[in-house]
């Protein structure tokens, strides 16, 4: 140390939290079980907030500026990148995130969109989530509804609903958020419908019963109601004809027997110059 210098002692301390042992659930009273369930839900909320921070930090380390330049091999093409609407991370980010989390790229894009909305448009919601004061499902519903609106509109909806969010049912919270968002930003509502149309798909789910499966289609509400009404009318016709089965089983019987088949019109053979006549054409 030089003459006249000041000696500085730096003491670094890292906390080592001790996880308290959890007694078997069968040892707990009903009141203690309720407390543990609430604590578990708060833990999931904090974990979701921390996951969102990790995702956003990972995205920030992979800027779109490092992607291949337009016109070069591997460059972004409009309409193909699922994450291009968030304007920032590489288009390959969600593919990497899906590999890290071992989920599909669509799920990874959903998690990134949720994290992006929490941290850039809903800071109070994120703070409540990180503190365990707001559960993950309600925070996720707010992010889903307000994902495509501006930060200003999202902040207004957040300010109106967050104080009462825990007192509202999840579906009611989503409905109220959607109602307020539409009042404040009709353009965002239109964009949500467009995004829903792009994400619409037909799904086939295995059933718990052997040899059975569920076929589901994501449709606009009006079209879904019309489809259900047609099948329901056919089922009621079967019931009126004396079918003894319960009414809920009739829609299955109202569908066409067997899997649908594509029917093509008969095809005619084209005779090219120099072709030898086919056996049928020679009358053989």
Please give the pLDDT value at position 266.
Answer: 58
Residue 217 in domain: no
Q: Tens digit of pLDDT for each residue in 154-197?
A: 999 999 999 999 999 999 999 999 999 988 887 666 766 776 67
If you write DSSP's letter for every residue of 20-56 in order, what string do you get? PPPPPGGGS-HHHHHHHHHHHHHHHHHHHHHHHHHHH
Residue 225 in domain: no
- Who has greater pLDDT, 234 or 149? 149
Residue with tokens 């309600």: 138
Distance between CA atoms of 142 and 154, rounded to whole angstroms?
A: 9
Residue 140 in domain: yes
Residue 213 in domain: no
Distance between CA atoms of 40 and 20, rounded to whole angstroms?
A: 14
Distance between CA atoms of 147 and 124, rounded to whole angstroms?
A: 15
CB proximity list for 118: less than 8 A, separation 6 or greater: 49, 52, 125, 126, 129, 139, 143
* Phi/psi of residue 5, nearest 5 degrees: -75, 165
Beta strands in the chain (DSSP E): 202-206, 213-217
Q: Tens digit of pLDDT for each residue in 117-148?
A: 999 999 999 999 999 999 999 999 999 999 98
Residue 218 in domain: no
Residue 209 in domain: no
In terms of phi and psi (left: phi > 0; alpha: psi -120 to 50; beta: otherwise), the region of 274 is left
Residues linked to residue 215 through DSSP beta bridges, in sequence order: 204
Q: Tens digit of pLDDT for each residue in 20-44?
A: 788 899 999 999 999 999 999 999 9
Please give the pLDDT value at position 173.
Answer: 96
Residue 211 in domain: no
Q: Which domain holds residue 176?
A: 36-66+81-202
Number of structural domains (the chain) is 1
Burial class of residue 236, CB neighbours in 10 A (0-12, 13-18, 19+) = middle
Residue 191 in domain: yes
pTM of the model: 0.61
């Amino acid at each position: 140390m030089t003459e006249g210098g000041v000696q500085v002692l730096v003491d670094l301390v890292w906390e080592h939290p001790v996880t308290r042992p959890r007694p078997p659930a069968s040892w707990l009273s009903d009141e203690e079980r309720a407390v543990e369930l609430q604590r578990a839900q708060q833990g999931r909320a904090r974990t979701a907030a921390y996951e969102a921070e990790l995702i956003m930090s990972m995205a920030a380390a992979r800027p779109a500026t490092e992607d291949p330049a337009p016109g070069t091999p591997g460059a972004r093409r409009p309409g193909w990148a699922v994450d291009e609407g968030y304007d920032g991370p590489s288009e390959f980010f969600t593919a990497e995130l899906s590999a890290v989390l071992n989920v599909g790229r669509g799920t990874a894009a959903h998690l990134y969109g949720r994290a992006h909305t929490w941290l850039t448009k809903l800071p109070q919601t994120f703070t409540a989530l990180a503190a365990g004061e707001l559960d993950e499902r309600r925070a996720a519903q707010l992010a889903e509804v307000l994902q495509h609106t501006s930060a200003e509109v999202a902040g207004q909806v957040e300010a109106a609903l967050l104080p009462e969010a825990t007192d509202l049912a999840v579906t009611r919270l989503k409905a109220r958020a959607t109602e307020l968002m539409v009042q404040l930003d009709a353009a965002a509502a239109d964009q949500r419908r467009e995004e829903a149309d792009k994400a619409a798909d037909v799904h086939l789910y295995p059933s718990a019963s052997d040899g059975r499966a569920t076929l589901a289609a994501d449709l606009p509400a009006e079209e879904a109601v019309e489809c259900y009404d047609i099948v329901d009318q056919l089922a009621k016709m079967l019931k009126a004809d004396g079918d003894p089965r319960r009414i809920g089983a009739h829609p299955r019987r109202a569908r066409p027997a067997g899997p649908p088949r594509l029917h093509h019109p008969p095809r005619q053979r084209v005779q090219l110059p120099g072709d030898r006549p086919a056996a049928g054409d020679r009358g053989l």
